[in-house]
Amino acid sequence: MSTIHLETFIKADIRKVFDLARDIDLHQKSTFQTGEVAIAGRTSGLIELGETVTWRAKHLGVVQTHTSKITAMEKPYHFTDIMLKGTFKSFRHQHIFRQDGSNTVMTDILEFESPLGVFGKLFNYFFLKNYMTKFLIERNKLIKITAEQ
């Protein structure tokens, strides 16, 4: 299993950042390079506890779908999504928020595992972890820019 831990400091109220992080429309804007589109479940607006979203995107030259469900949420402090269906063997993304004075610290903890045993572990180590880290950083940049306007 691979784990990515990112912290993003944002000069904005925690509630605003929390809502931007679960905004389907903003997520689609942040992933324009992969053509990611919500195609089923919640396809726009703010995703809520118990809801699902199915994404279609082109990653690594292959069109893929990924269905996630929000399994935990405490507004405005955290929410967690897990993969129900997709290319990963397992996928869990925790989104954690804390107010620090006039700033919000947004923390991503992404845990994922690729299929294919040893080959999947090698792929994670040599390529996928870095790819996913860059993907999250791009998403977080747009959240930060939007929140700080």
Residue 126: predicted pLDDT:
84
Alpha helix locations (H) across the chain? 14-21, 24-30, 117-123, 129-147
As a whole number, mean pLDDT of residues 75-80 equals 98
As a whole number, mean pLDDT of residues 92-121 equals 94
Residue 125: predicted pLDDT:
82
Q: Specify whether the CB–CB gap between 142 and 21 falls below 8 A.
A: no
- Looking at the predicted structure, is the pLDDT value of residue 96 above 90? yes
Residue 119: predicted pLDDT:
86
Q: Which domains does the chain have, with CATH numbers?
A: 2-147 (3.30.530.20)
Q: Specify whether the CB–CB gap between 147 and 17 falls below 8 A.
A: yes
Report the candidate in 94, 33, 90 with the shortest Cα–Cα distance to residue 66: 90
- Looking at the predicted structure, is the pLDDT value of residue 85 above 90? yes
Residue 52: predicted pLDDT:
98
Distance CA 136, CA 132 (A): 6
